Chain A
Amino acid sequence: MGKHIVAALAEIPPGSQKLVHVRGRAIAVFNVNGELFGISDTCPHQGGSLATGATVGLTTSEEPGKFCHSRPGEFVRCPWHSWEFDLRTGQSWCDPRKFRTRPYDLSVEPGEALVAGPYVAETFGISVEDQYIVVEL
Chain B
Amino acid sequence: MSISNAIDCDIHPGVPTIKVLLPYMSDYWRESFTARGQDNFQPASYLPNAPIACRPDWRDGDAIPGSNFDLLQKHALDGFGSRLAICNVLYGGSFSISETMGAAICSAVNDWVKAEWLARDPRLRASIVVPTQNPQLAVEEIERLADDRRFVQILMPVALDMMLGKQHYWPIFEAAVRHSLPIGLHAGSLYRYAPTTNGWPSHYLQDYVSNNHAFESQLLSLIAQGVFVKFPDLRIVLIESGVTWLPGFLWRARKTWRAVRPEVPWVDESPIDIVRRHVRLTAQPIDAPSDPAVLERVLNQIGSDDMLLFASDYPHWQFDGESVLPDGVPARLIEKMVNDNPLATYPRLRETIQ
Contact = CB atoms under 8 A, between A and B. Distances in A.
Interface stretch (B123-131, B260-268, B345-353): B260-268
Contacts of B226: 61, 63-65
A63 B230 contact: yes
Contacts of B257: 94
Interface residues of B, number: 16
Contacts of A82: 258-260
B195 to A, nearest CB: 27
- How many chain A residues sit at the interface, stated as a range, is 10 to 19
A97 interface: no
B330 to A, nearest CB: 27
B3 interface: no
Interface in B234-257: 255, 257
A61 B266 CA distance: 5
User: Which of B225, B227, B230, B259 has most chain A Cβ within 10 Å?
Assistant: B259
Interface of A is mostly: loop
A59 B259 contact: no
Contacts of B71: none
Interface string A71-112: 000000000011110000000011100000000000000000
B258 A83 contact: yes
A81 B258 contact: yes
B258 A66 contact: no
The 7 closest A-B pairs by CB, nearest first: A64-B226, A59-B262, A82-B259, A61-B265, A61-B266, A94-B258, A64-B266
Interface of B: 225-227, 229-230, 255, 257-262, 265-266, 268, 270
